[in-house]
């Protein structure tokens, strides 16, 4: 199923704005939290069969890895997808005109496993284009996205798909481990893993998508039924962290990652476009509370866009006077700039509840 034009030019992740378009179909009111939710166990038919050759007409899950200049981390990401305890599985790697050896690395991985397909673009078209191209080629009943510098826990897809089946959900997301590559350690989880698994409603998603927050639901990496966006569906959130997210800026190392960085990863201005479409739908429903939450997210994305423009001005070495003037012209940024300056000077924050699955190899 082609999702062309559904994934916008943004990454928080890029799927986030497509989720915003889909949330109009989610339940309006929050049902009770699933405090007594049964434990999630992969059903027997999801267990991996070694040496399995996938028929072209049948696939349970398609994993999509968009790649741009990520040769050093691609093999780890691909291995974490290929060792999942589900079958049949396919892996689609899209090299988006990388200038390093990412394309060669992708073809090397494909040569070693017949579940892997490679799409190599002759020029850089952006992460959303790469994702849409792979998703259009995907054969899976479920579709999962994996960034080239991130990785999965071995049981991630089995756990999330089983949760989807058990809770009649069409979109299932999980908690995340935050990994600082500069420090070589897992820092914390996105949210407390002690909270219960629950249904994720439209209100939950928008309320939890504050773009200025350290973590927001726009950063979720869901597993989605292929027909979810066409027909609408139910979303479910698993509290167990099973996705290892590589921090673009390490909270301990204070260093930027070198894989897939820059505008390819983030385009906050373009991420605002779906808000207008969703806002109109909410206005027709008369949902003033959700409109207010959506407007708050839109204002935050605008601030992040302005902050990125100021950062680019700094990178051009225009001088402190030009930088100070740019900040002075946008009073709405002053609290954010101050908060980030204080954050840069504060001790690193870690999470003492990181569990036994937290080691990244």
What is the average pLDDT across 52-66?
74
Indicate the pLDDT class of residue 25, thresholds 50, 70 and 90: very low
Q: Is the pLDDT of residue 332 over 90?
A: no
Whether 47 contacts 87, CB under 8 Å: yes
Q: How far apart are the first and last CA of the chain?
A: 34
Q: What are the pLDDT digits (tens) for 308-324?
A: 777 776 666 766 777 77
Indicate the pLDDT class of residue 298, thresholds 50, 70 and 90: confident
Q: Is the pLDDT of residue 209 over 60?
A: yes
- 3-class SS letters over 24-41: HHCCCCCCCCCCCCCCCC
The mean pLDDT of the chain is 75
> Is 76 or 9 the better-scoring residue by pLDDT?
76
Indicate the pLDDT class of residue 260, thresholds 50, 70 and 90: low
pLDDT at 10: 41
What is the average pLDDT across 283-300?
77
pLDDT at 31: 29
Strands 171-180 and 235-246: parallel
pLDDT at 257: 67
Whether 351 contacts 188, CB under 8 Å: yes
Strand partners, 243: 152, 176
Range in 9-23, 41-55, 177-191 with the lowest mean pLDDT: 41-55
pLDDT at 138: 93
Q: Is the pLDDT of residue 214 over 50?
A: yes
pLDDT at 210: 82
> Is 30 or 318 the better-scoring residue by pLDDT?
318
> Is 115 or 38 the better-scoring residue by pLDDT?
115
pLDDT at 47: 35
pLDDT at 350: 54
pLDDT at 28: 39
Q: What are the pLDDT digits (tens) for 148-205?
A: 999 999 999 999 999 999 999 999 999 999 988 888 889 899 988 888 899 988 788 8
Q: Is the pLDDT of residue 5 over 50?
A: no
Strand partners, 235: 171, 200
Q: Is the pLDDT of residue 4 over 50?
A: no
Q: Is the pLDDT of residue 79 over 90?
A: yes
pLDDT at 249: 64
DSSP H stretches of helix in 156-220: 156-166, 202-207
pLDDT at 89: 96
Indicate the pLDDT class of residue 211, thresholds 50, 70 and 90: confident
Averaging pLDDT over each range in 110-119, 208-217, 225-234, which range is the top one?
110-119
Q: Residue 88: is the preceding peptide bond cis (ω within 30°)? A: yes
Q: Which two tokens stand for residue 132?
A: 């849409």
By C-alpha distance, which of 85, 41, 31 is closest to 202? 31
Please tell me the distance from the alpha carbon of residue 293 to that of residue 210, in angstroms, as a whole number. Answer: 8
Residue 5 φ then ψ, to 5°: 75, -5
């Amino acid at each position: 199923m082609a999702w062309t034009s559904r994934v916008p030019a943004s990454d928080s992740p890029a799927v986030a704005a497509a989720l915003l378009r889909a949330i109009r179909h989610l339940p309006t009111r929050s049902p009770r939290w699933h405090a007594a939710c049964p434990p999630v166990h992969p059903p027997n038919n999801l267990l991996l069969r070694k040496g399995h050759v996938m028929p072209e007409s049948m696939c349970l899950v398609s994993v999509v890895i968009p790649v741009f200049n990520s040769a050093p981390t691609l093999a780890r990401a691909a291995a974490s997808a290929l060792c999942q305890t589900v079958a049949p599985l396919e892996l689609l790697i899209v090299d988006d005109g990388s200038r390093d050896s990412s394309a060669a690395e992708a073809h090397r991985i494909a040569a070693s496993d017949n579940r892997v397909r490679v799409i190599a673009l002759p020029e850089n078209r952006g992460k959303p284009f790469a994702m849409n191209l792979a998703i259009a080629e995907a054969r899976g009943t479920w579709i999962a996205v994996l960034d080239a510098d991130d990785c999965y826990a071995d049981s991630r897809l089995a756990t999330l798909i089983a949760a989807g089946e058990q809770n009649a959900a069409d979109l299932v997301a999980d908690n995340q481990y935050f990994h600082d590559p500069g420090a070589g350690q897992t820092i914390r989880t996105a949210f407390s893993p002690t909270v219960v698994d629950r249904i994720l409603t439209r209100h939950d998603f928008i309320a939890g998508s504050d773009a200025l927050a350290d973590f927001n639901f726009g950063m979720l990496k869901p597993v989605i039924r292929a027909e979810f966006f066409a027909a609408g569906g139910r979303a479910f959130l698993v509290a167990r962290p099973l996705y290892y997210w590589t921090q673009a800026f390490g909270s301990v190392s204070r260093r930027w990652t070198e894989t897939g960085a820059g505008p390819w990863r983030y385009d906050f201005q373009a991420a605002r476009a779906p808000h207008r479409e969703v806002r109109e739908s909410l206005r027709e429903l008369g949902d003033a509370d959700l409109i207010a939450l959506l407007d708050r997210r839109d204002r935050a994305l605008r601030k992040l866009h302005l902050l990125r423009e100021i950062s680019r001005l700094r990178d051009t070495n225009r001088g402190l006077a030009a930088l100070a003037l740019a900040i002075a012209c946008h009073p709405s940024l002053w609290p954010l700039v101050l908060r980030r300056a204080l954050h840069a000077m504060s001790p690193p924050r870690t999470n003492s509840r990181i569990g036994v699955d937290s080691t990244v190899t």
